[in-house]
Structure 1
Amino acid sequence: MQVTGQQGIPSTIGKLTALLTMMHDHAMGADIVRKLEADGYRHTVGKVGSMDSAKVIAAIETAAKNNRVIDEKRYRETHGLYHAILEALQGVSRGTPQIRDVLRTVGLTFAIVRGPLSTEQGQPDEGEWICVCMYGTIGAPKKGFEHEVLGFGINHI
């Protein structure tokens, strides 16, 4: 599977989601958004900070619904998103998605992208997928006691 588009921007949903999460507010972010839109992906970016993993999940789910990445009336779309969020949250928290219970807090930027696994010519149609990436910090609920984290989840719809 090729992973680079004609202009050097990746063409897989996972790489695009990770890049969008980390680069959305940099010069390269506009190129990534143009690539996503040209290839028909639905996407959004948001931020959340909390000591409660349920609030992180709710913020991402709300962003996906409000920005029409998923149709809230279709259970399978919400269900697929939920599993992608949990997988990404496990990456952020290094396993069990506990935050408050172990006195940790997160400050995250997240991206949600929906579409095919790849837009490269000749790749089989695998249906629609949803991808969630989170990047930010985790640590004790005191400024200066955190470190960077990255979490990633992908699920079929």
Structure 2
Amino acid sequence: MSQTIKIGKIATLLAMLSDEEGRLFEEMLDQVSFCQGKVGSMNTQKVISAVETAVKRHQLIEENRYRETHALYHAILEALEGVTRGQLAIGEMMRTVGLRFAVVRGKPYKEAGEGEWLAVAFYGTIGAPVKGLEHEAIGLGINHI
């Protein structure tokens, strides 16, 4: 079983690149469904909600299918763990984030039975809620649907 596309790599690139830079990868993007967005907050739930809203707005998941919402939620949490270094707390720890995000839905395996997967990537900054005291952070979460 070899991979045909790397949804995590695509999601990470989309989260990190500007819109102009992302246009260089249009051929690769034709193979997947995706959405992008930005969020800044001291509230973890607001970050999760921003991603969920973008995904639903772009119809990347079917809202009435629990397994799709569940897969998205776990991919978001896994990606946030990377950004927050394993401590899923932002405001409670006097931290704030400014993140770009991307969600990619695709079939990363040639074997059809492996189905579709979701990748969520965050790239941006995290740090004390004082301008200039933040540093770069990145997180990636992948889950099967």
Larger CA deviation: 66-75 vs 147-156: 66-75
Which position in structure 1 is the counterpart of 2:27?
A: 34
Distance 2:140 2:20 in 1: 20
**Where does 1:1-157 land on structure 2 (aligned, <5 Å)?**
1=2, 11-27=5-21, 29-37=22-30, 39=31, 41-118=32-109, 123-125=110-112, 126-157=114-145
Percent of pairs identical after alignment?
Answer: 55
Q: CA deviation at 1:32?
A: 2.3
Residues 22 and 135 in structure 1, CA contact (< 8 A), matched pair in contact too: yes
Which runs of no fewer than 5 residues in structure 2 stay unpaired?
none
Give deviations 1:110-144, integer Å, cap 9, x for gaps: 000001115xxxx3232100000000000000100
SS at structure 1 position matched to 2:135: strand
- TM-score, normalization: structure 2? 0.92
Residue identity in the other structure for 1:90: E
> What do you get for the CA RMSD once the two structures are aligned?
1.4
Give deviations 1:24-54, integer Å, cap 9, x for gaps: 4233x113243222x2x11000000000000
Give deviations 1:53-72, integer Å, cap 9, x for gaps: 00000000010001111111
Per the alignment, do residues 15 and 144 of structure 1 end up closer, same or farther by CA in structure 2, a change over 3 Å counting? same
Which runs of no fewer than 5 residues in structure 1 stay unpaired?
4-10
Distance 1:68 1:17 in 2: 17
Residues 112 and 133 in structure 1, CA contact (< 8 A), matched pair in contact too: yes
Distance 2:42 2:101 in 1: 16
Residues 20 and 33 in structure 1, CA contact (< 8 A), matched pair in contact too: no
Q: Give every structure 1 segment of 4 or more consecutive aligned residues whose post-TM-superposition deviation is greater than 3 Å.
A: none
- TM-score, normalization: structure 1? 0.86
Residue identity in the other structure for 2:95: R
Residues 20 and 32 in structure 1, CA contact (< 8 A), matched pair in contact too: no
The number of aligned residues is 143
